[in-house]
């Protein structure tokens, strides 16, 4: 299973994630996020890095022009569209870069996830399922009931997100779905918003990969 650590705001931690064998690092370009990174990263600091991991830019209802600009400036390998982007919009973006389309799960839509994702099936590369609380676009620190994913028709590799931390490693390993591709961790392994507890990240990686 792949591992994505989202909400990175420090270049040194980006390098550390790479050394720990993390597969994806999420850089948040949504200004309202506590983990907004544009005022913390200089493009040259990121462009000059020789990384094995892939950089995912996280956008919420951004314009196509803004997304394409940041993809080029920061050398993003893929983008995560975490807002209310339409299938047509995702298709346009996917013509130039790989797309993760995020879906926010609530008690009102959890029984109809397959209908929610179906229009996006042919216009993105991955799904991401996160918890929706109080209208927040991620970073809630709360989980949804993962079992509902098995009650819906999901035919694309997906990232599992929402309130996942070190204490959840065994639960993640015990959750089986044929299209579960990666786990996404963020707020539960932080010492402050955007500052990761690298000891916890290291333990998470080691324990998840332990047979």
Domain ranges of the chain: 2-209
Half-sphere exposure of 4 (CA within 13 A, CB side): 26
Q: Which residue has the higher pLDDT, 171 or 137?
A: 171
Rounded to an integer, what distance in angstroms lies between the CA atom of residue 51 and that of residue 18? 6
* 47 band by pLDDT with thresholds 50, 70 and 90: confident
Q: 132 pLDDT exceeds 80?
A: no
Helix 64-74 vs helix 87-94: angle between axes, to the nearest 10 degrees? 30
The pLDDT assigned to 90 comes to 98
Residue with tokens 């918890």: 131
Residue with tokens 């015990």: 174
**Stretch 23-34: mean pLDDT:** 96
Note whether 186 and 26 are within 8 A (CB).
Answer: yes
Dihedral in degrees, nearest 10, Cα atoms 117, 122, 123, 129 = 30
The pLDDT assigned to 192 comes to 95
* 133 band by pLDDT with thresholds 50, 70 and 90: low
Strands (E), 42-201: 54-59, 78-81, 98-105, 126-131, 158-160, 180-185, 190-192, 195-196
The pLDDT assigned to 137 comes to 52
Distance of CA 33 to CAs 42, 50, 82, 193, Å? 18, 27, 12, 9
Q: Considering the domain 2-209 in this protein, what is its CATH number?
A: 3.20.20.70
Q: 136 pLDDT exceeds 80?
A: no
* 134 band by pLDDT with thresholds 50, 70 and 90: low
Tokens encoding 90: 């995702």
* 42 band by pLDDT with thresholds 50, 70 and 90: confident
What SS3 state is found at 195? Answer: strand
pLDDT tens digit sequence for 148-193:
999 888 999 999 999 999 999 999 999 999 999 999 999 999 999 9
Which residues in 75-100 are b (16+ Cβ under 10 Å) and which e? Answer: ebbbbbbbeebeeebbebbbeebbbb
The pLDDT assigned to 120 comes to 97
Residues in the chain: 211
**pTM, full prediction:** 0.94
The pLDDT assigned to 112 comes to 83
Note whether 138 and 187 are within 8 A (CB).
Answer: no
Q: 139 pLDDT exceeds 60?
A: no
**Stretch 119-143: mean pLDDT:** 79
Rounded to an integer, what distance in angstroms lies between the CA atom of residue 167 and that of residue 153? 29
Average pLDDT, the chain: 92
Q: 135 pLDDT exceeds 70?
A: no
């Amino acid at each position: 299973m792949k591992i994505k650590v989202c909400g990175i705001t420090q270049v040194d931690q980006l390098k550390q994630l790479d050394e720990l064998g993390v597969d994806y690092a999420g850089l948040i370009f949504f200004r309202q996020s506590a983990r907004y990174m544009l005022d913390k990263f200089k493009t040259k600091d990121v462009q000059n890095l020789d990384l094995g991991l892939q950089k995912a830019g996280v956008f919420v209802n951004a314009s196509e022009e803004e997304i394409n600009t940041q993809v080029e400036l920061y050398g993003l390998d893929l983008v995560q569209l975490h807002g209310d982007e339409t299938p047509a919009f995702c298709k346009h973006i996917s013509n130039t870069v790989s797309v993760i389309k995020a879906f926010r799960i609530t008690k009102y839509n959890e029984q109809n996830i397959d209908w929610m994702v179906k229009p996006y099936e042919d216009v993105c590369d991955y799904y991401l399922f996160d918890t929706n609380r109080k209208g927040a676009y991620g970073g809630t620190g709360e989980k949804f009931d993962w079992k509902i994913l098995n009650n819906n028709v999901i035919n694309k590799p997906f990232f599992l997100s929402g309130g996942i931390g070190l204490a959840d490693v065994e639960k993640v390993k015990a959750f089986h779905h044929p299209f579960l591709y990666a786990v996404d961790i963020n707020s539960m392994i932080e010492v402050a918003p955007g500052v990761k507890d690298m000891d916890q990240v290291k333990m998470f990686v080691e324990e998840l990969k332990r047979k």
